Amino acid sequence: MTQTQIADISQAQQERLFHIDFKLRFLGTVNRNDLVSRFGIKAAAATRDLTQYKEIAPRNLEYDTKAKTYIQREGFKPLFSYPGNQALAALCYGLGDDFVGRQHPLVTAESPTQLNFPDLDTLAIVTQAIHQKKALQIQYRSLSSGLTTREIVPFALVDNGLRWHVRAHDRKRKAFNDFVVNRIAHPRVLNGEIPAEQTRDADIQWNRIVRMHIVPHPGLEHPETIEHEYSMNDGVLKIDVRAAVSGYVLRHWNVDCSETHSLDSPEIHLWLNNPQTLYGVESATLAPGYRAITDIKPNSGAE
């Protein structure tokens, strides 16, 4: 059986093969008990899965009779691909999003303490509105207006590295903005058609893609260290980011956005060497050191 034939296998077995592949890649070992405890299957079924995997990728694993487990062979090539954040989440918090019970990290890991998490009851109503393309009536606490009643049309969640926002059209202000999920109270889904001007397609800042050229900060003594850390090509990391979230990205990574790379502090390792790309980007006011070439005061981020 070849890799292209994996699609012909049932989804349930694909998930078990993925589990085998992931553990071999990141832990170097896998055995029947891993499958039995993760999926609740019988030992005989786990044996069949391991045999199936070996038929598809015979050079990926071999059985260690002494340790009584399968180990990764030299030249291992993963059968499945997955984004880095998925791999890190699995390593830090456990594999699978459908597991009922306590999950355990696959390796010892520690992530920065998050001071707040989205309230799940509130988040559930917000995501329902996003999925069903409906508006919400909410009680919202902002720094500028205090507690007010709003009607918003949400269409996306945004993690800015510190807290979760929902991107939405604010019917009162007739503008798109970011709303902190944990400042929302008593959300209620509203029925009714959503006008085109309140949908995601009408959000210019969301749909505009900004290409940023990020380089090691010129003030560093050994810029090659940063080039290696961020896998830069020819000393440049080129990333495409939505204008609506670019300010969050630049602030989160402490990117000096001043034209003359004038910020000088130990945590500044990166410099945006094309700050002109932020022209007209409302969230750019959040970017360290950025000075807009305009007299118009743009939106400064979430309320």
DSSP state letter for 114? P
Look up the CATH number of the domain holding residue 158: 2.30.30
Q: State whether 215 and 185 are in the same domain.
A: no
d(CA 34, CA 9): 20
- The band of 55, judged by pLDDT with boundaries at 50, 70 and 90, is very high
Identify the domain boundary among 150, 179, 202. 202
pLDDT, position 293: 61
pLDDT, position 292: 75
At 268, the amino acid letter reads I
Residue 179 and residue 165 in contact, taking contact as beta carbons nearer than 8 Å: yes
- Per-residue pLDDT of 66-115, as tens digits, reads 989 999 999 999 999 878 878 877 887 776 644 444 566 778 777 777 78
Residue 183 and residue 177 in contact, taking contact as beta carbons nearer than 8 Å: no
| Inside any domain, residue 110 | no
pLDDT, position 244: 97
The candidate with the shortest Cα–Cα distance to 139, out of 180, 173, 193, 176, is 180
| Inside any domain, residue 193 | yes
Residue 258 and residue 291 in contact, taking contact as beta carbons nearer than 8 Å: yes
Return the SS3 of 246.
helix
The structure's pTM equals 0.77
Length of the chain measured in residues: 303
The counts of H helices and E strands in the chain are 8, 12
- The band of 297, judged by pLDDT with boundaries at 50, 70 and 90, is very low
- Per-residue pLDDT of 56-70, as tens digits, reads 999 999 999 998 999
What average pLDDT is seen over the chain? 90
Which is it for strands 29-30 and 69-72: parallel, antiparallel or unpaired? antiparallel
| Inside any domain, residue 59 | yes
Q: State whether 78 and 137 are in the same domain.
A: no
Query: Per the structure, how many domains does the chain have?
Result: 3
Burial of 298 (0-12, 13-18, 19+ CB in 10 A): middle
Q: Is the dihedral of CA 34, 40, 42, 48 positive or negative?
A: negative
- Per-residue pLDDT of 206-246, as tens digits, reads 999 999 999 999 999 999 999 999 999 999 999 999 999 99
| Inside any domain, residue 258 | yes
The two structure tokens encoding residue 275: 């700050």
d(CA 93, CA 237): 29
Identify the domain boundary among 162, 181, 202. 202
- Helices of type H across the chain: 11-26, 32-39, 43-56, 84-93, 120-132, 204-207, 223-229, 243-252
| Inside any domain, residue 291 | no
Q: State whether 196 and 239 are in the same domain.
A: no
DSSP state letter for 230? T
Q: Is the dihedral of CA 220, 282, 179, 237 positive or negative?
A: negative
> 59 lies in which domain range?
3-93
- The band of 298, judged by pLDDT with boundaries at 50, 70 and 90, is very low
pLDDT, position 109: 75
| Inside any domain, residue 105 | no
| Inside any domain, residue 106 | no
Residue 90: what are its φ and ψ, rounded to 5°? -65, -40
Q: State whether 45 and 83 are in the same domain.
A: yes
Look up the CATH number of the domain holding residue 74: 1.10.10.10
Residue 56 and residue 4 in contact, taking contact as beta carbons nearer than 8 Å: no
| Inside any domain, residue 293 | no
At 42, the amino acid letter reads K
